[in-house]
Amino acid sequence: MPLPINAQLRLRGALWGLMSLLLTGCTTFNSDPQASDSTATEPQSEPLQPTTTLPVLQRWVRQIGEGSGGLHLHLSPVLLWDQLIATSRDGAMIALAPKTGEILWQRRLTESLYSGVVGVLNGEQKLLLVAAESSVIALDAVTGQQLWQQPLSSESGAAPVVVGDRVLQRSVDGHLAAFHLTTGKLLWQYQWSVSLLTLRGSVAPVVAQKMVLIGTGDGRLIAVDLQRGEELWILPVAEARGRSELERLVDINTEPLVVGDWIYVSPHQRGISSYNLNSGRQLWHREISGDRGATIDADKRLYLSDAAGLLWSLAASNGDTYWKQDALKSRHLTAPVLQGEYLLVGDDLGRLHWLLRRSGQLVATMQVASFTEWFPRHSSYQGYSAHVRQSRALIAPPLVDGHWVYAMDQRGVLAAYELINAADTQGQ
């Protein structure tokens, strides 16, 4: 049996702490992606100095319930129908005006939550959530009324995935269930074997070419037919090795990135590889621990943050390096996201960092700060200690909408930023 999800989430947080080092850094830039990393000259390290050379302004801040409640949860807000909707571990759900932070409506659910809200944009106007009591819940997005609730085989920290009329939900015990979006009826289930010790709990399946792709705790990638739930193929992408259980962890604990016929996979501690979806042939492999997540731009440049806090830009076609940025080394970074000509990541100190996509140069750093930090009260104020001392960490990637950025830390502090007079941020 796998560890309970509470233990898995706390284990992941503990592993972050074990890898912490007090290091600072610089950028290695390679204008020729064919050049080898080993021939690059490492510039002299310089202390990280938070900068604001970009005109970035924090526009508003809100507290969303109790945040993650001390667990390693990916609670990310979503933009739906001109509303920014955010949730917390203790069941708080708040809809805000994206530009002003004005509360449009709020609701307190009776269930505790393990995932952020997922919205349906195909005319159904539904909100989907995963409850800590091992169930998936569908709500009416206009009234907040519960439409249906279906039990899961076990706990789940993964967000639901909506494809057409199907809601896909994975559980920590190795089950993937497909429900009908309108009725909640169970359509099919698929089961696979799970590892005894795993970091699983918050990674959703990925849909590509009418297949559902599942990354497992033992380093396999499984493809399941979207309509029938039948197994199509299994691709081993990482092999457990080492003497200790921690060394043998090979979870695929970030969502695989699919681009056309190619998929990019980053098992824990086993680098990043590219495979052809049709043949299973490996295109390239790099010993870069990209299990924080990756993204790709229109120029087929791959961007990823690794376990050591390094940011990389790679050629998606062959894995060669464009640049490497180590100014954030020893930080636990979110997956990078694109904002026009910039790359944006969050870290475990509650800071957002903007970098130039082409060079990796760090151009701005902003701190996510709560209302009580802007206007501090005496420490005897009820709730002050819990509010300030909880982890500032940004676990979920920031949400980008044109010139706007939204980020929520583990305390539940949701902040909105605007990039003023910037170059076009719509083209990614």
* pLDDT number for residue 88: 94
Q: Tell me how many domains the chain contains.
A: 1
* pLDDT number for residue 241: 65
> Global pTM?
0.83
In a domain, 427, yes or no: no
Rg (CA), the chain: 21
Per-residue pLDDT of the chain (428 residues; tens, 9 = 90+): 444 545 444 444 444 444 333 333 344 444 344 343 433 333 333 334 445 678 899 999 999 999 998 888 888 899 988 899 999 999 999 999 999 999 999 999 888 998 888 888 667 788 999 998 899 999 988 777 899 999 999 988 889 999 999 999 999 889 999 999 999 999 999 999 887 666 555 688 999 989 999 988 788 899 999 999 999 999 988 776 667 666 656 677 788 999 999 999 987 777 899 999 988 899 999 988 877 889 999 999 999 999 889 999 999 999 999 999 999 999 999 999 999 999 999 999 999 999 999 999 999 999 998 766 665 555 444 444 444 445 889 999 999 999 999 999 999 999 999 998 765 555 55
Residue 49 belongs to domain spanning:
5-419
* pLDDT number for residue 376: 58
Stretch (H or E) spanning 18: helix 5-18
* Distance of alpha carbon 193 from alpha carbon 172, whole angstroms: 11
* Distance of alpha carbon 106 from alpha carbon 395, whole angstroms: 24
In a domain, 424, yes or no: no
* pLDDT number for residue 188: 98
Residue 93 near residue 104, CB atoms below 8 Å: no
Tally of CB atoms within 10 A around 376: 12
Provide the token pair at 275.
């495979």
In a domain, 337, yes or no: yes
In a domain, 207, yes or no: yes
* pLDDT number for residue 403: 95
In a domain, 426, yes or no: no
* pLDDT number for residue 270: 75
Find the CATH number of the domain harbouring 329: 2.130.10.10
SS (H, E, C) 134-170: CEEEEEECCCCCEEEEEECCCCCCCCCEEECCEEEEE
In a domain, 425, yes or no: no
Residue 295 near residue 336, CB atoms below 8 Å: yes
Tally of CB atoms within 10 A around 122: 11
In a domain, 155, yes or no: yes
Residue 315 near residue 301, CB atoms below 8 Å: yes
In a domain, 294, yes or no: yes
* pLDDT number for residue 32: 42
